[in-house]
Homo-oligomer: A and B are copies of this chain.
Amino acid sequence: MLSPSPSEPQTPSPRRQAVLGAVLALMVEEGDQLTMDAVARRASCSKETLYKWFGDRDGLLTATVQWQAAQVRADRYDGQALDVASLRESLEAFAATWLSVIASETSVALNRIAIGHAAARKSNLGGIVLSNGRFAIGERLKPVLEAGRAAGLLAFEDSEEAFRTFFGLVGRDIQIRLLLGDALGLDEAAIAGEAERAVAQFLALHGRAPSNP
């Protein structure tokens, strides 16, 4: 693990959010070589303001990543999955949400930038993305899995390990292909299909339903 989830800076002012939104849009369009000039132009603000508000380029990027990460983890699945149907439903919803996140242009752009920074050992965008992505979702899913186990519907020893398997079954080669620029068109229906398949496989491995005594 890289960084313990970073201290949440309270939501920025609307004006700042507009700036961060501009950064995000530019990230999607231009990748990491977005310039401070471009940001200022896009956000109709002066570079001076950017530097006053965010310190330097890295600060701006970090703020953007944190802000966007906060957007994502909105919904919450309280995991009282009592029967296998509702458990399956929860898991599928989880998988579908997660897939549509990692398939979104924003997520791809963000991850690319964070990876670039990890390469340069600059700042800690990688850690931020990781703790708001992979680890955050793990912490959200584990209670569901544990509830499933408590209800006798799932069998596993380590919920972290079970989650990693779930992660692999859902994501497969999708994220790396998107990051590398492969344009696999994942529409809503495809995502639903993937989610269903992944959950079926996960239940085949860890399920304990009547059909899997």
Interface residues of A (CB under 8 A from B): 1-2, 30-33, 109, 111-116, 118-121, 124, 126-127, 129-130, 134, 164-165, 167-173, 175-177, 179-183, 201, 204-205
Contacts and interface: CB of A to CB of B under 8 A. Distances in A.
B176 A165 contact: no
B182 A126 contact: yes
25 contacts: A1-B182, A2-B180, A2-B183, A30-B120, A31-B116, A33-B120, A111-B180, A112-B115, A114-B180, A115-B179, A115-B180, A116-B116, A116-B119, A118-B179, A124-B181, A126-B182, A129-B180, A130-B177, A167-B173, A168-B169, A168-B170, A169-B169, A176-B176, A201-B205, A204-B204
Contact of A171 (B31, B129, B168, B182): B168
